[in-house]
Amino acid sequence: MFGASGGIGGALLRHLASDPRCVRIHAGSRGPVDAPDDRIIPFRFDFNDHASVAAAASTIATPHLAIVATGRLHGANMFPEKTMRTLDPVQMAESFAINAIGPAMIARHILPKLPRYQRSLFAVISARVGSISDNRLGGWHSYRASKAALNMLVRCFAIEAARTHPLAVCAALHPGTVDTALSKPFQTGAAPYRLFDPQTAARHLLEALDRLTPDQSGRLFGWDGQEIQP
């Protein structure tokens, strides 16, 4: 797993650690990873250093499940744009670097390692706002566009992977609105029953992944397993 120290990533890690099917869990982050279980093998990587991604991937032999739980919506000098008048090229580049290019570099190194003739999963945390057909409000230009790019990359990866790994599933997942630092400034309009705690969100995502089949590869799915149109 890449992004194991974030709100959703940490919850996913805890769920996987409680699953007896997981005999070894590689858990990576830019910072330290809590690894109370001896099955958890922590590592570090940084999207600003492609060599660190390649080095981390080289330590992972044949993953049956790979999850990229990274992403950034806001941060220092970075906030979702309400209008095109506030577009900034540096902010846009950072959004694409973290939300699209970084996961693509992980896929470059991890997808060829999936088992060829066994069911395997490569999943990225995306967002419904990356759906072009579902966009009725506008705004959040950089984040929307970077997640739309990520969704397209997943589609491309699925087509390519199917040629050599026919049982692999590549999927983008929308976790819903989760009570994490990423969504904290934007939770006001979320209905209480649609604001998930990280553990619930992680359970939803893993249940959705469990149900996916190779003929569904390359698509964006919501936390409930329903496909979201691109």
Specify which residues 215 forms β-bridges with. Answer: none
Q: What residue ranges in 110-156 does DSSP mark as E strands?
A: 120-125
Residues 6+ apart with CB under 8 A from 92: 141, 142, 145
- CA dihedral defined by 84, 89, 93, 96, rounded to 10 degrees? 10
Structure pTM? 0.94
Q: Which of 1, 58, 15, 40 is nearest to 198 (CA)?
A: 15
Contact 181, 7 (CB under 8 A): yes
Pairing of the two strands 65-68 and 177-178: unpaired
CA–CA distance, 6 with 182 (Å, rounded to integer): 9
End-to-end CA distance of the chain: 25
In tens digits, the chain (230 residues) has pLDDT values of: 999 999 999 999 999 999 999 999 999 999 989 887 889 999 999 999 999 999 999 999 999 999 999 999 998 878 999 999 999 999 999 999 999 999 999 999 999 999 999 999 999 999 999 999 999 999 999 999 999 999 999 999 999 999 999 999 999 999 999 998 777 777 666 655 679 999 999 999 999 999 999 999 999 999 999 999 98
Contact 62, 113 (CB under 8 A): yes
CA–CA distance, 47 with 222 (Å, rounded to integer): 26
Decide: helix, strand or coil at residue 226: coil
Q: Which domains does the chain have, with CATH numbers?
A: 7-228 (3.40.50.720)
Decide: helix, strand or coil at residue 155: helix
Q: Which two tokens stand for residue 166?
A: 């026919």
Distance of CA 34 to the CA centre of its chain: 19
Containing H/E element for 43?
Answer: strand 40-44
Backbone phi, psi, residue 70, to 5°: -105, 165
Residues 6+ apart with CB under 8 A from 93: none
